[in-house]
């Protein structure tokens, strides 16, 4: 076995912490330093403009309701001139004169108008299709109508119990509240109005470089509730006063998966922990698959965005997925990586189109590693930034976990994981997107048979 040399992994979380469990969220001092170095903001997301989302493009392409602007009725000569530019970018003068004579005739004008109408009708149909409530491509923010669904704050109804967490990315706070009407605890995510704006279009106008959209999150919660999807928290209402917007939802009793995993009651990494975590991991994989089957890619899966709540049964927990601000209805997309840097699939740093299903699958792999090992595998998937990831990339995941030791011990990570768990992780964290395990989504199937190996083919799930 290769001896462990801490200096080989200087980007790992600091070793001096005596608590062997998940030691800190990714906003610790060392992580903050790393962020400063790689130019990421305090929530762990890279700061880069989203292609196609600057204010001018939004202004030009959409009106306030989010529909693309219909072009103003052009006059015949406008249309002719536009067509001439399109048809003859590099023709000789004679050809152009001939065309001009034809194009200014009445017959040509009629033809062009007819073509123009057809194009406009086709465009309109496409948008009607994607805006219609049954469309699987309907933008998530459209599931919630701020104009009619936001209510005034009811000051006597919700009583603050305590602050529960920061909503860093949304410049807000998450509060535990007591609902005096329903007599139950609820969660209120309180965001300042200057940040959240009055609707999605307003938000984009004010924050053209943002890649996380609060109205997407609200719309997605409502959509999942409407479809009775078990992994969604219940959206209880959106309230607003002159300063803040409060998104009130059902309370997950155990907090997020980070809190749950690092709770002192959980057993340390090893066989017992694997057994306890198996039902939760199964729920997670099923839940993300269900999202994908509903045509939603999450793009920000992390320990903090998965909640745990107790059910009525002893030692039984249910997982909920939150924070759909970066989610989208488009499976394939281009552009910068989304989500927190430990969880970003390596291909997301490359140019070109990415498969959101496989990007989420990689992030799920990182979550599964964190759950089982109680530590992060790496802090970033940019090899130049993180030596742990660079090692895994160069030598393979298996040899990485043979070398990487559990925090504050000399026990190699590979030695405490069962062989089926190792294979599951290897499959989900495969850097080759062609080989990465899928979550068994319907989209991979034709005639009911999957064209790719999925997590459900793994031995880890074959146990009773
Ligand atoms: N319904 C809930 N029940 C229990 N805890 C919750 C609930 N909703 C949110 N939280 C806690 O609040 C944290 C932040 O919530 P959320 O992810 O929605 O906000 P955010 O603005 O995206 O913040 P961040 O930038 O930290 O992701 C979660 O990680 C979780 O710890
Ligand atoms: Mg979050």
Query: Which tens digit of pLDDT belongs to each residue from 372-428?
Result: 999 999 999 987 889 999 999 999 999 999 999 999 899 999 999 999 999 999 999
Report the pocket of ligand 1 as residue ranges, CB < 6 Å: 43, 164-170, 174, 187, 189, 233, 249-252, 255-256, 304-305, 307, 322-323, 325
**Looking at the DSSP assignment, which residues form a beta bridge with residue 454?**
438
Q: Which of 68-82, 88-102, 345-359 has the highest mean pLDDT?
A: 345-359
* Ligand 1 atom with the shortest distance to the CA of 165: 12
Beta-carbon-side half-sphere exposure of residue 265 (alpha carbons within 13 Å):
6
Per-residue pLDDT, averaged over 332-354, amounts to 92
How confident is the model over 216-269, as pLDDT tens digits?
A: 999 999 999 999 999 999 999 999 999 999 999 999 999 999 999 989 999 999
CA 309 / ligand 1 centre spacing (Å): 14
* Domains recognised in the chain with CATH numbers: 140-250 (3.30.200.20), 257-461 (1.10.510.10)
Quote the pLDDT of residue 21. 45
Residue nearest to atom 31 of ligand 1 (CA): 256
Q: How many CB atoms lie within 10 A of CB 246?
A: 22
- The DSSP bridge partners found for residue 192 are 244
Q: Whose CA is nearest to atom 29 of ligand 1?
A: 304
Query: What's the pLDDT at 397?
Result: 96
Indicate which atom in ligand 1 lies nearest the CA of residue 43: 25
The yes-or-no verdict on residue 57 having pLDDT over 50 is: no
The secondary structure of the chain, three-state, reads CCCCCHHHCCCCCCCCCCCCCCCCCCCCHHHHHHHHHHCECCCCCECCCCCCCCHHHHHHHECCCCCECCCCCCCHHHHHHHHHHHHCCCCCHHHHHHHHHHHCCHHHHHHHHHHHHHHHHHHHHHHHHHHCCCCCCCCHHHHCCHHHHEEECCCCCEEEEEEEEEEHHHCEEEEEEEECCCCEEEEEEEEEHHHHCCCHHHHHHHCCCCCCCHHHHHHHHHHHHHCCCCCECCEEEEEECCCEEEEEEECCCCCEHHHHHCCCCCCCCCHHHHHHHHHHHHHHHHHHHHHHHCCCECCCCCHHHEEEEECCCCCCEEEEECCCCCCECCCEECCCCCCCCCCCCHHHHCCCCEEHHHHHHHHHHHHHHHHHHCCCCCCCCCCCCCHHHHHHHHHCHHHHHHHCECCCCCCEHHHHCCHHHHHHHHHHCCCCCCCCCECCCHHHEECCEECCCEHHHCHHHCCC
Q: Is the pLDDT of residue 11 over 70?
A: no
Q: Closest Cα to atom 14, ligand 1: which residue?
A: 167
Residue nearest to atom 21 of ligand 1 (CA): 167
Are residues 365 and 378 in contact, defined by beta-carbon separation less than 8 angstroms?
no
The ligand 1 atom nearest the CA atom of 217: 18
For 89-97, what is the mean pLDDT? 58
Residues of the chain above pLDDT 70, percent = 71
pLDDT of 88 strictly over 90 = no
326 in Cβ contact with 299 (< 8 Å): yes
What does the pLDDT read at residue 10? Answer: 37
Task: Say if residue 43 is exposed, middle or buried (CB neighbours under 10 Å; 0-12, 13-18, 19+).
Answer: middle
CA distance 182 to 37: 48
The mean pLDDT value for 7-13 works out to 40
pLDDT tens per residue, range 433-458: 999 999 999 999 987 778 899 999 99
Residue 301 pLDDT: 98
pLDDT at residue 29, rounded to an integer: 46
The region of weakest confidence among 10-24, 89-103, 332-346, 371-385 is 10-24
Q: What sign has the CA pseudo-torsion 439, 444, 449, 452?
A: negative
Determine which residue's CA is closest to atom 17 belonging to ligand 1: 323
Centre of ligand 2 from the C-alpha of residue 164, in Å: 13
Separation of CA 305 and ligand 2 centre (Å) = 5
Please give the Cα distance from 127 to 195 (Å, whole number). 28
pLDDT of 213 higher than 80: yes
Residue 98 has pLDDT above 50, yes or no: yes
- Token pair in block for residue 275: 């057994």
pLDDT band with cut points at 50, 70 and 90 for residue 316: confident
pLDDT given at position 49: 34
Q: Is the pLDDT of residue 61 over 50?
A: no
Position 109 scores a pLDDT of 65
Mark residue 192 as left, alpha or beta (left: phi above 0; alpha: psi -120 to 50; beta: remaining).
beta
Where is average pLDDT lowest: 30-44, 140-154, 325-339, 400-414?
A: 30-44
Which numbered atom of ligand 1 lies nearest the CA of 304?
29
Average pLDDT over residues 278-285: 96
Mean pLDDT, rounded, for 78-89: 43
Residue 388, pLDDT score: 93
Q: Which atom of ligand 1 is nearest to the CA of 191?
A: 21
pLDDT at 169: 82
Q: What is the whole-number distance in angstroms between the Cα of residue 305 and the centre of ligand 1?
A: 6
For position 86, what pLDDT does the model report? Answer: 42
Q: What is the mean pLDDT of residues 5-25?
A: 42
Compute, in angstroms, the gap from residue 136 CA to the centroid of ligand 2.
Answer: 25
Q: Phi, psi (5° rounding) for residue 405?
A: -105, 160
pLDDT band at residue 40 under the 50/70/90 scheme? very low
Find the 425 Cα to ligand 2 centroid distance in Å.
23
On the question of pLDDT at 66 being above 50, the answer is no
Report pLDDT for 125: 54
Global pTM value: 0.76
Cα 307 to middle of ligand 1, angstroms: 8
| pLDDT bracket for residue 107 (50, 70, 90) | low
Q: Determine the pLDDT at residue 1.
A: 33
For atom 13 of ligand 1, the residue with the nearest CA is 165
Average pLDDT, the chain: 80
């Amino acid at each position: 076995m290769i001896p462990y040399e801490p200096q080989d992994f200087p980007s790992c979380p600091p070793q001096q912490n005596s608590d062997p469990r998940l030691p800190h969220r990714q906003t610790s001092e060392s992580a903050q330093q790393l962020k400063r170095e790689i130019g990421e903001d305090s929530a762990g997301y890279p700061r880069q403009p989203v292609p196609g989302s600057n204010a001018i493009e939004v202004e030009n392409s959409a009106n306030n309701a989010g529909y693309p602007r219909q072009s103003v009725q052009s006059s015949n000569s406008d249309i002719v001139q536009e067509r001439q530019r399109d048809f003859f970018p590099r023709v000789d003068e004679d050809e152009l004169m001939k065309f001009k004579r034809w194009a200014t005739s009445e017959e040509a004008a009629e033809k062009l108008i007819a073509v123009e109408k057809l194009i406009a009708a086709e465009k309109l149909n496409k948008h009607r299709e994607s805006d219609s409530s049954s469309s699987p491509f309907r933008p998530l923010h459209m599931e919630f109508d701020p104009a009619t669904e936001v209510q005034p704050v009811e000051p006597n109804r919700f009583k603050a119990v305590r602050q529960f967490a920061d909503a860093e990315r949304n410049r807000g706070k998450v509060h535990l509240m007591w609902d005096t009407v329903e007599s139950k605890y609820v969660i209120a995510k309180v965001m300042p109005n200057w940040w959240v704006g009055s609707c999605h279009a307003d938000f984009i106008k004010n924050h053209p470089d943002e890649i996380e959209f609060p109205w997407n999150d609200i719309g997605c919660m409502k959509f999942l509730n409407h479809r009775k999807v078990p992994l969604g928290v219940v959206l209880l209402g959106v309230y607003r006063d002159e300063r803040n917007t409060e998104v009130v939802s059902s309370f997950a009793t155990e907090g997020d998966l980070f809190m749950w995993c690092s709770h002192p009651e959980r057993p340390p990494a090893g066989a017992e922990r694997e057994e306890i975590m198996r039902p939760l991991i199964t729920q997670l994989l099923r839940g993300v698959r269900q999202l994908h089957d509903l045509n939603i890619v999450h793009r920000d899966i992390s320990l903090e965005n998965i909640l745990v709540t107790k059910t009525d049964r002893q030692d039984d927990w249910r997982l909920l997925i939150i924070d759909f601000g970066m989610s989208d209805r488009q499976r394939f997309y281009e552009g910068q990586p989304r989500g927190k840097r430990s969880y970003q699939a390596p291909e997301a740093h490359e140019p070109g189109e990415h498969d959101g299903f496989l990007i989420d699958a990689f992030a799920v792999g990182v979550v599964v590693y964190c759950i089982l090992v109680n530590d992060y595998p790496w802090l970033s998937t940019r090899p130049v930034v993180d030596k742990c990831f660079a090692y895994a990339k160069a030598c393979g995941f298996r040899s990485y976990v043979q070398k990487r030791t559990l925090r504050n011990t000399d026990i190699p990570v590979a030695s405490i994981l069962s062989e089926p768990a190792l294979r599951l992780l290897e499959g989900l964290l495969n850097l080759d997107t062609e080989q990465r395990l899928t979550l068994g989504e319907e989209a991979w199937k034709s005639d009911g048979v999957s064209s790719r190996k999925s997590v459900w083919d793994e031995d880890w799930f074959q146990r009773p």
